[in-house]
Amino acid sequence: MTERQGPPEVDRVAASRRAVAARRERASLKRDVTTRVITPQELLRRALADPASPAGAMRVTEFLTSIPAIGEGKRDRILHDLGISPVKRLGGLGARQRRALLDFLDRRWPEPRPRAGRSRLVVLAGPTAVGKGTVAAQVRKRHPEIHLSVSATTRPPRPGEVEGEHYFFVDDAEFDRLIASGELLEHATVHNRYRYGTPRKPIVRALEDGRTVLLEIDLQGARQVRAAEPSATLVFLLPPSWDELVQRLVGRGTEGEEERARRLRTAKVELAAQGEFDYRVVNDHVERAADEVVSLVT
Ligand SMILES: Nc1nc2c(ncn2[C@@H]2O[C@H](COP(=O)(O)OP(=O)(O)O)[C@@H](O)[C@H]2O)c(=O)[nH]1
Ligand SMILES: Nc1ncnc2c1ncn2[C@@H]1O[C@H](COP(=O)(O)OP(=O)(O)O)[C@@H](O)[C@H]1O
């Protein structure tokens, strides 16, 4: 018996493949909102710009429950209050419903607005493996006039890391001494593991010389710098998606599975704090992201 594959069946197979791919993309977008890689407003803007996109095809119910702290009960109350039917897809919202939903999101989760009166002390932070080191190195390559701070750390050097260039590698006793003598502008234990700190003197000197200073440090350090120097400019580097962040961490190959899991837990905490920063830059392409960082601070 011969099997005939008529065009309708071919179409069905293709349609079902497309449906699976679209479902996967919607799941990935939901993860991005849940992990706060993108704001709900950003997802909604994408849906409205292209109703046929995976974002546009997302049901308003799925959208709302992907937002941290919105469960099914709250979701239904919100939809009722905003006068939106639960069967609606984001791309199919009417003009009044879009406005109502965007206003609601802006009240609930205001997007960071740049502050006035920034200084040339710039902090670049962001989750593990987002590419902070790579982008900072690109900034230095393109703009040697920008002073890149070299931190002290109790972490052992990775292969290829150079003392005084990537870090000052010190033991616990020396780190204690640096803290006690006030030689660190800020310091923190990162990923519950090793200690890292920013030597104060080179920064003060570079700022006195009129140079822009870039610190590539973690969230705790960024908060300390803001407290010590409120006019500092805080930039948060974001991955294009949560899945891409995981890929970069795995692809770098410098941590085992347990350490990667630990870092991803910290990453969720850091992503949740991005609203404290003055600017957010997506590290999609290294050169573009480096240019954006420079344009924000010079
Ligand atoms: N607070 C603080 N964090 C730092 C400092 N230097 C590096 N870090 C952060 O420590 C974390 C771990 O750095 P590292 O061990 O080089 O790993 P990687 O960032 O995954 O390449 C990163 O989030 C860095 O931004 C510092 O001087 N102070
Ligand atoms: N824009 C990018 N696109 C693709 N891969 C990137 C990008 N930026 C960085 N990477 C890669 O991601 C991995 C993590 O980058 P790294 O600079 O070590 O991150 P971090 O300093 O934030 O921990 C590295 O393998 C790096 O080559």
Please spell the DSSP secondary structure of 165-185, one letter per residue.
Answer: TTEEE--HHHHHHHHHTT-EE
Does 131 belong to an annotated binding site? yes
Q: Which atom of ligand 1 has the smallest separation from the CA of 255?
A: 20
The response to whether 182 counts as a known ligand-binding position is: no
Question: What's the pLDDT score for residue 111?
Answer: 79
Atom of ligand 2 nearest to the CA of 283: 1
Q: Would you list the domain boundaries of the chain?
A: 7-108, 121-297
Average pLDDT over residues 261-270: 94
Which runs of E-coded beta strand occur in the chain? Answer: 121-125, 147-148, 151-153, 167-169, 184-190, 194-199, 213-216, 233-238, 279-282
Instruction: Judge contact between 196 and 218, C-beta under 8 A.
Output: yes
> What are the pLDDT digits (tens) for 148-178?
999 999 999 988 999 999 999 999 999 999 9
Does ligand 1 come within 6 angstroms of the Cβ of 149?
Answer: no
- Prediction pTM value: 0.84
pLDDT digits (tens, 9 = 90+) for 78-94: 999 999 999 999 999 99
Q: Is 128 annotated as a binding residue?
A: yes
- Domain 7-108 in this protein, CATH class: mainly alpha
CA of 206 to the centre of ligand 2 (A): 27
Average pLDDT over residues 9-20: 85
Burial profile 1-11: b = 16 or more Cβ within 10 angstroms, e = fewer: eeeeeeeeeee
**If you average pLDDT over every residue of the chain, what do you get?**
92
Answer yes or no: is pLDDT of 197 > 90.
yes
Q: Is ligand 2 within 6 A of the CB of residue 245?
A: no
Residue 1: what pLDDT?
Answer: 45
121-297 fold: Rossmann fold (3.40.50)
The protein residue whose alpha carbon is closest to atom 12 in ligand 2 is 248
- pLDDT, tens digit, for every residue of 25-69? 999 999 999 999 999 999 999 999 999 999 999 999 999 999 998
Q: Is there a binding annotation on residue 201? A: no
